[in-house]
Amino acid sequence: MNRRNWMMAGVTSVAGASGLLWGQRDSTGLIGTAMAASPTAAPAADTPDDFWSHRFSRPEGGELALESLRGKPLLVNFWATWCPPCVKELPEIDRFSHDFAPHGWQVVGLAVDSAGPVRDFLKKTPVKFPIGLTGYAGTTLARQLGNNNGALPFTVLFDASGRILQRKLGQTSYKELAGWARAS
């Protein structure tokens, strides 16, 4: 990589981190947990009426229809290849997917990114759960699910009836996700 590419990578990283930190400010303007996870089930009205009607292209081809995931507990993670905390948490989410699938849990990743970078990333860091390509529209969908800041990563846990049980803005972990699943 030449000097110019290194400089561009550095500028991109700083800009991305700054945007993430800015998005994670809470109402006091401080950086920290922007959204406390709800300890109990939120009313079904928290899930937008059209949420289950969304369809997304998949990086390997084909389509991901959210309707096909209805009726079982579901973890949805909004992420991007250019988001360091997103990249760091994906193996944790993949482990959760593997360990909790036998208990009826489903996981889907919604990449707020374009197909090329996602395909390249998944070649290096494969995951077993389905990925949908949302592009920038994923930010709008995340906002409809309660991510008022529009920052990444953002994770939402639905029960089998489609009600939002938990949501978190910021990096999550296997331990946290497993705790959510066991408590639901």
Q: Indicate if the pLDDT at residue 90 is higher than 90.
A: yes
Q: Indicate if the pLDDT at residue 85 is higher than 80.
A: yes
The pLDDT score that the predictor gives to residue 36 is 42
- Complete domains list, the chain, with CATH: 33-183 (3.40.30.10)
- Which is more confident, 133 or 3? 133
CA-to-CA distance for 31 and 169, rounded, in angstroms?
12
pLDDT in tens, 124-134: 999 999 999 99
What value does the mean pLDDT take over residues 132-143?
A: 94
Strand residue runs (E) in the chain: 55-57, 63-65, 74-79, 106-111, 131-133, 154-158, 164-169
What value does the mean pLDDT take over residues 34-55?
A: 60
The pLDDT score that the predictor gives to residue 46 is 67
Strand residue runs (E) in 43-169: 55-57, 63-65, 74-79, 106-111, 131-133, 154-158, 164-169
pLDDT > 90: percent of the chain: 71
pTM of the model: 0.77
Q: Indicate if the pLDDT at residue 11 is higher than 80.
A: no
Mean pLDDT lowest among 43-47, 72-76, 112-116, 146-150: 43-47
Q: Indicate if the pLDDT at residue 70 is higher than 60.
A: yes
CA-to-CA distance for 93 and 58, rounded, in angstroms?
18
What value does the mean pLDDT take over residues 42-49?
A: 57
